[in-house]
Protein backbone atom coordinates (compact mmCIF):
# COMPACT_ATOMS: atom_id res chain seq x y z
CA UNK A 1 0.00 0.00 0.00
CA UNK A 2 1.15 3.54 -0.61
CA UNK A 3 2.02 6.34 1.77
CA UNK A 4 -1.12 8.18 3.03
CA UNK A 5 -0.35 11.24 0.88
CA UNK A 6 -0.32 9.12 -2.26
CA UNK A 7 3.10 10.38 -3.30
CA UNK A 8 4.78 7.01 -3.99
CA UNK A 9 1.71 5.91 -5.98
CA UNK A 10 1.64 9.22 -7.85
CA UNK A 11 5.34 8.86 -8.68
CA UNK A 12 4.91 5.27 -9.90
CA UNK A 13 1.90 6.13 -12.01
CA UNK A 14 3.52 9.08 -13.80
CA UNK A 15 6.64 7.00 -14.38
CA UNK A 16 4.54 4.16 -15.84
CA UNK A 17 2.48 6.54 -17.99
CA UNK A 18 5.31 8.58 -19.48
CA UNK A 19 8.65 7.93 -17.82
CA UNK A 20 8.23 11.22 -15.91
CA UNK A 21 9.63 11.79 -12.42
CA UNK A 22 7.33 13.81 -10.17
CA UNK A 23 7.67 15.01 -6.58
CA UNK A 24 5.62 16.40 -3.70
CA UNK A 25 5.17 19.81 -5.39
CA UNK A 26 3.85 18.04 -8.47
CA UNK A 27 1.18 16.30 -6.38
CA UNK A 28 -0.15 19.75 -5.40
CA UNK A 29 -0.04 20.84 -9.04
CA UNK A 30 -1.83 17.65 -10.05
CA UNK A 31 -4.61 18.33 -7.54
CA UNK A 32 -4.97 21.86 -8.93
CA UNK A 33 -5.13 20.39 -12.45
CA UNK A 34 -7.83 17.91 -11.39
CA UNK A 35 -9.85 20.69 -9.71
CA UNK A 36 -9.72 22.79 -12.87
CA UNK A 37 -10.68 19.84 -15.06
CA UNK A 38 -13.64 18.82 -12.89
CA UNK A 39 -14.99 22.36 -13.22
CA UNK A 40 -14.54 22.41 -16.99
CA UNK A 41 -16.04 18.96 -17.48
CA UNK A 42 -18.91 19.63 -15.07
CA UNK A 43 -19.84 22.90 -16.77
CA UNK A 44 -19.72 21.34 -20.24
CA UNK A 45 -21.75 18.36 -18.99
CA UNK A 46 -24.29 20.63 -17.29
CA UNK A 47 -24.75 22.60 -20.51
CA UNK A 48 -25.17 19.42 -22.58
CA UNK A 49 -27.69 18.02 -20.08
CA UNK A 50 -29.70 21.26 -20.17
CA UNK A 51 -29.72 21.18 -23.98
CA UNK A 52 -31.21 17.71 -23.66
CA UNK A 53 -33.82 18.82 -21.12
CA UNK A 54 -32.20 17.24 -18.05
CA UNK A 55 -30.86 18.58 -14.76
CA UNK A 56 -28.70 15.53 -14.07
CA UNK A 57 -25.50 14.89 -16.03
CA UNK A 58 -25.24 11.42 -17.54
CA UNK A 59 -21.98 10.04 -18.99
CA UNK A 60 -22.87 10.92 -22.59
CA UNK A 61 -23.11 14.60 -21.56
CA UNK A 62 -19.41 14.72 -20.75
CA UNK A 63 -16.96 16.13 -23.32
CA UNK A 64 -14.96 12.94 -23.79
CA UNK A 65 -12.94 12.77 -26.99
CA UNK A 66 -11.80 9.63 -28.76
CA UNK A 67 -8.27 10.20 -27.44
CA UNK A 68 -9.49 10.46 -23.85
CA UNK A 69 -11.62 7.31 -24.32
CA UNK A 70 -8.49 5.48 -25.49
CA UNK A 71 -6.51 6.74 -22.47
CA UNK A 72 -9.37 5.61 -20.18
CA UNK A 73 -9.19 2.08 -21.64
CA UNK A 74 -5.41 2.17 -21.32
CA UNK A 75 -5.66 3.36 -17.72
CA UNK A 76 -7.55 0.20 -16.76
CA UNK A 77 -4.51 -1.87 -17.79
CA UNK A 78 -2.03 -0.06 -15.52
CA UNK A 79 -0.77 -1.99 -12.49
CA UNK A 80 -1.48 1.10 -10.39
CA UNK A 81 -5.03 1.60 -11.73
CA UNK A 82 -6.95 0.48 -8.64
CA UNK A 83 -4.77 2.50 -6.27
CA UNK A 84 -5.02 5.53 -8.57
CA UNK A 85 -8.82 5.15 -8.65
CA UNK A 86 -8.81 5.25 -4.83
CA UNK A 87 -6.58 8.34 -4.85
CA UNK A 88 -8.75 10.05 -7.46
CA UNK A 89 -11.89 9.34 -5.42
CA UNK A 90 -10.24 11.32 -2.62
CA UNK A 91 -8.73 14.07 -4.82
CA UNK A 92 -11.68 14.81 -7.12
CA UNK A 93 -13.65 17.47 -5.32
CA UNK A 94 -17.33 18.08 -5.77
CA UNK A 95 -18.43 19.92 -8.91
CA UNK A 96 -19.92 23.43 -8.76
CA UNK A 97 -23.18 23.69 -6.78
CA UNK A 98 -25.39 23.89 -9.88
CA UNK A 99 -24.10 20.55 -11.24
CA UNK A 100 -25.55 17.14 -10.41
CA UNK A 101 -23.90 13.96 -11.66
CA UNK A 102 -25.87 10.74 -12.08
CA UNK A 103 -24.59 7.67 -10.21
CA UNK A 104 -23.20 6.30 -13.50
CA UNK A 105 -21.34 9.56 -14.08
CA UNK A 106 -19.97 9.53 -10.51
CA UNK A 107 -18.67 5.98 -11.03
CA UNK A 108 -17.07 7.01 -14.31
CA UNK A 109 -15.14 10.02 -12.94
CA UNK A 110 -12.12 8.06 -11.61
CA UNK A 111 -11.78 6.39 -15.02
CA UNK A 112 -12.06 9.74 -16.77
CA UNK A 113 -9.44 11.30 -14.53
CA UNK A 114 -7.22 8.24 -14.88
CA UNK A 115 -7.33 8.76 -18.65
CA UNK A 116 -6.77 12.49 -18.31
CA UNK A 117 -3.84 11.81 -15.97
CA UNK A 118 -2.18 9.62 -18.60
CA UNK A 119 -2.74 12.36 -21.19
CA UNK A 120 -1.31 14.94 -18.78
CA UNK A 121 1.79 12.85 -18.06
CA UNK A 122 2.42 12.30 -21.76
CA UNK A 123 1.84 15.96 -22.56
CA UNK A 124 5.02 16.77 -20.61
CA UNK A 125 6.98 14.64 -23.09
CA UNK A 126 5.38 16.50 -25.99
CA UNK A 127 6.11 19.88 -24.41
CA UNK A 128 9.74 18.95 -23.72
CA UNK A 129 10.93 15.51 -24.88
CA UNK A 130 14.05 15.83 -22.70
CA UNK A 131 12.21 16.73 -19.49
CA UNK A 132 12.67 14.07 -16.84
CA UNK A 133 10.95 16.05 -14.08
CA UNK A 134 8.30 18.62 -15.09
CA UNK A 135 9.01 22.15 -13.91
CA UNK A 136 6.51 24.92 -13.23
CA UNK A 137 6.63 26.12 -16.89
CA UNK A 138 5.92 22.53 -18.05
CA UNK A 139 2.87 22.36 -15.78
CA UNK A 140 1.67 25.77 -16.97
CA UNK A 141 1.98 24.75 -20.63
CA UNK A 142 0.21 21.46 -20.00
CA UNK A 143 -2.65 23.24 -18.23
CA UNK A 144 -2.85 25.72 -21.12
CA UNK A 145 -3.16 22.81 -23.56
CA UNK A 146 -5.99 21.24 -21.55
CA UNK A 147 -7.72 24.62 -21.28
CA UNK A 148 -7.72 24.78 -25.09
CA UNK A 149 -9.32 21.34 -25.30
CA UNK A 150 -11.88 21.53 -22.47
Q: Which domains does the chain have, with CATH numbers?
A: 29-149 (1.10.20.10)
- Residue-wise pLDDT for 58-116, tens only, equals 999 999 999 999 999 999 999 999 998 888 777 777 777 778 999 999 899 999 999 99
Q: Give the per-residue pLDDT at 7.
A: 62
pLDDT at 1: 40
Mean pLDDT of 43-48: 94
Whole-prediction pTM: 0.87
Torsions phi, psi of 53, nearest 5?
A: 75, 25
Q: Where are the alpha helices (DSSP H) in 2-149?
A: 7-18, 24-51, 66-75, 81-91, 103-127, 136-149
Give the closest residue to 122 by CA, choosing from 8, 3, 19: 19
Question: What is the pLDDT, as a whole number, of residue 98?
Answer: 79
Between 3 and 30, name the one with better pLDDT. 30
Amino acid sequence: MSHPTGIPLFERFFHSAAGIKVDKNDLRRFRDFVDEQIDSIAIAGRDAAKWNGRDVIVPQDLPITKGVQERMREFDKFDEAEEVRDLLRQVVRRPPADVTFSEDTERMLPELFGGLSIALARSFRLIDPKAANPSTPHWERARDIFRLIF
